[in-house]
């Protein structure tokens, strides 16, 4: 039995749009829980572990959680993430998801519904009318047929949904203010004109709304969901301790520092960038102010080679010179 659902706007306040039987659609997707790889925690720190679960195809994940145990003791249960120190753990990843498939539904708009140019999410809207045919192009007045296009927005596929074309009756006659021209009326309202009745064929008319003379239909795709299901995967997880941070600079680190004598602010590294590349903030060895807004400083940095000397010069905090002596 065909179900009924209402369109969103004024047109549907008068009539309901019925849904026809659904046809077979695309098959369901899947969700995969991947193994969490070995983690490396920062030196004297912890590693953040999160569930590694992904939806593929026609599926969606409601939530994914971790339960972590160590030596028989539960550290976290059903957590979104966990901060783990170096060690060995047992991790259980649980995912709740559902799959869906696209099915076709026939939307039916009954005769008598008023279709306007403005429309909502599922409300059909008028997208223009043209003269389809003129009963007698040799006559000065008579009947004609307007051909109108009706669309709606499909929120599932994020695309336009086109209804069957609508043909509505109209009439033509000599224009009241300019009898040498031919004007067109729809339901007694002026909607356009042309030089002659023959010129009206396929001419675009300015129609703001139409009343459906018959039922129109369109087919859209909607999601048909299956029930929510839960999937679990257990694994062993190793968290390793990361290397001790280096506090000295190598020659390769020195070479990575960008300087520019002419335009250090644009092309040279900042003090913070130099400190990151050389693994320390360094010590200021000289300072000068030229009185014209330029502050020049040199900083020495500890090298991994005890017999070497490394320094970087800054202008207003940006590197313009560097030296390495061994």
CA pair distance 320, 170, nearest whole angstrom:
80
pLDDT (tens digit per residue) in 145-163: 999 999 887 777 777 888 8
Percentage with pLDDT > 90 across the chain: 69
- Mind listing the pLDDT tens digit for each residue in 84-135? 999 999 999 999 999 999 898 888 899 999 999 876 566 788 989 999 999 9
Residue 12 is predicted with a pLDDT of 35
Q: Report helix, strand or coil for 138.
A: coil
Q: What DSSP state is assigned to residue 269?
A: P
For residues 142 and 237, membership in a common domain is answered with no
33 and 93 assigned to the same domain: yes
Side-chain half-sphere exposure of 174, counting CA atoms within 13 A = 8
Same domain, 130 and 209: yes
Residue 307 lies in a domain: yes
**Separation of alpha carbons 235 and 122, rounded Å:** 47
Q: Alpha-carbon distance 184 to 111, whole Å?
A: 23
27 within domain boundaries: yes
Same domain, 119 and 188: yes
Per the domain annotation, does 276 fall within a domain?
A: yes
Q: Does any domain span residue 16?
A: no
Place 13 in a pLDDT band, splitting at 50, 70 and 90: very low
**Are residue 97 and residue 232 in the same domain, yes or no?**
yes
61 with 208, same domain: the answer is no
Residues 266 and 258: beta-carbon distance below 8 Å: no
14 lies in some domain: no
The answer, yes or no, to whether residue 203 has pLDDT greater than 60, is yes
Residue 8 lies in a domain: no
pLDDT value for 27 = 52
Looking at the fold, whether 54 and 122 belong to one and the same domain comes out as no
| Structural contact between residues 100 and 225, judged by C-beta atoms closer than 8 angstroms | yes
CATH number of 56's domain: 2.60.40
Question: Which domain CATH number covers 257?
Answer: 3.30.1450.10
Most confident among 5-9, 22-26, 168-172 (mean pLDDT)? 168-172
Query: Does residue 170 share a domain with residue 128?
Result: yes
Could you tell me if 95 and 160 lie in one domain?
Answer: no
State the Cα–Cα distance between residues 203 and 159, nearest whole angstrom. 27
Same domain as 33, residue 124: no
pLDDT tens digits along 235-288: 999 999 998 888 999 999 999 999 999 999 999 999 999 999 999 999 999 898
Q: Are 319 and 297 in contact (CB under 8 A)?
A: no
Q: What is the pLDDT at residue 28?
A: 65
Least Cα distance to 52 among 40, 69, 35 occurs for 35
pLDDT in tens, 283-322: 999 898 877 788 999 999 999 988 899 999 999 999 999 9
DSSP state at residue 294: -
The helix (H) or strand (E) run that includes residue 13 is helix 10-14
Domain limits at 205? Answer: 111-214
Residues 295 and 162 in one domain: no
Q: Tell me: the pLDDT tens digits for 160-194?
A: 888 888 999 999 999 888 888 999 999 999 999 99
**Among 283, 268, 281, which residue's Cα sits nearest to residue 322?**
268
Whether 28 and 162 map to the same domain: the answer is no
In a domain, 1, yes or no: no
Q: How many domains does the chain have?
A: 3
Residue 64 included in any domain: yes
């Amino acid at each position: 039995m065909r179900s009924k659902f209402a369109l969103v706007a004024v047109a549907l306040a008068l009539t309901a749009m019925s849904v026809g039987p659904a046809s077979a659609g695309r098959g369901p997707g899947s969700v995969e829980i991947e193994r969490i790889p070995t983690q490396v925690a920062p030196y004297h720190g912890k590693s953040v572990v999160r569930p590694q679960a992904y939806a593929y195809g026609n599926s969606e994940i409601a939530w994914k959680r971790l339960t972590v145990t160590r030596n028989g003791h539960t550290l976290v249960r059903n957590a979104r993430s966990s901060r783990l120190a170096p060690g060995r753990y047992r991790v259980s990843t649980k995912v709740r998801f559902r799959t869906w498939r696209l099915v076709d539904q026939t939307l039916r708009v009954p005769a008598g519904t008023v279709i306007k140019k403005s429309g909502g999410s599922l409300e059909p809207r008028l997208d223009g009318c043209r003269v389809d045919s003129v009963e007698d192009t040799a006559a000065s007045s008579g009947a004609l047929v307007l051909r109108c296009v009706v669309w709606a927005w499909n929120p599932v596929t994020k695309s336009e949904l086109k209804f069957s074309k609508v043909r509505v009756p109209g009439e033509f006659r000599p224009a009241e203010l300019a009898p040498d021209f031919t004007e067109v009326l729809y339901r007694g309202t002026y909607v356009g004109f042309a030089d002659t009745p023959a010129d009206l064929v396929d001419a675009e008319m300015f129609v703001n709304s139409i009343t459906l003379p018959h039922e129109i239909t369109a087919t859209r795709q909607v999601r048909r969901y299956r029930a929510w299901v839960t999937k679990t995967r257990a694994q062993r997880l190793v968290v390793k301790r990361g290397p001790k941070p280096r506090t000295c600079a190598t020659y390769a680190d020195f070479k990575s520092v960008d300087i520019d004598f002419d335009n250090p602010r644009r092309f040279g590294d900042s003090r913070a960038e130099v400190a990151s590349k050389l693994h320390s903030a360094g010590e200021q060895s000289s300072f000068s102010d030229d009185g014209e807004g330029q502050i020049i400083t040199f900083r020495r940095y500890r090298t991994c080679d005890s017999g070497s000397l490394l320094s970087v010069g800054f202008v207003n905090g940006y590197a313009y010179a560097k030296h390495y002596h061994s």
